[in-house]
Structure 1
């Protein structure tokens, strides 16, 4: 059994290498589009300090998102989607 699993793992690694080197196409591709953080912040009318505080991140992190040097991930990305979808609910919930 272990030999079969190792063989399948090795095959997967070879396929991944071929894809990374452009010798093969990936079977599927996911593209995630994140909202523009600066636009979201400006639409709800918060300063960088206020928005960073609401998102529970440092102002520096927020600035990196706004300048596209970094992207929000995990719970920050999820919260940002909520802010876009329902800014009034998000603001009310996070300020209480």
Structure 2
């Protein structure tokens, strides 16, 4: 395991808490954006994935902060948030 900078220290009074690296914090913030957009559209993960052609496993990994979406994917999700119908028309 790499020695990553810690962005958020674990609470020493909570034995189940853990340190969060800067990379982990970044993944978590991006996960929130994606989950928020999907929820605002009222779609389940499989519905969102099918409609916008994102592999459902990839979407789950992003939303659970297992992996961080590349910048282009986060931009795509933000465009979906603002113009879902236009995106659907474009991917036809």
Q: TM-score, normalised by structure 2?
A: 0.54
Number of the residue aligned with 2:46: 49
Which runs of 5 or more structure 2 residues have no equivalent in the other structure? Answer: 6-25
Number of the residue aligned with 1:34: 30
Which runs of 5 or more structure 1 residues have no equivalent in the other structure? Answer: 1-19, 23-31
Which structure shows the higher strand fraction?
Answer: 2
1:50-91 Cα deviation digits (max 9, x unpaired): 2113442210000001111011113211112223xxx3x521
Which structure shows the higher helix fraction?
Answer: 1
Equivalent residues, number: 64
Larger Rg belongs to: 1
Residues 1-96 of structure 1: pairs in structure 2 closer than 5 A: 34=30, 36=32, 37-83=34-80, 87=81, 89-96=82-89
SS in 2 for 1:64: helix
Question: Structure 1 segments of 4 or more deviating over 6 A?
Answer: none
- RCO higher in 1 or 2 (8 Å CA, sep ≥ 6)? 2
Q: TM-score, normalised by structure 1?
A: 0.52
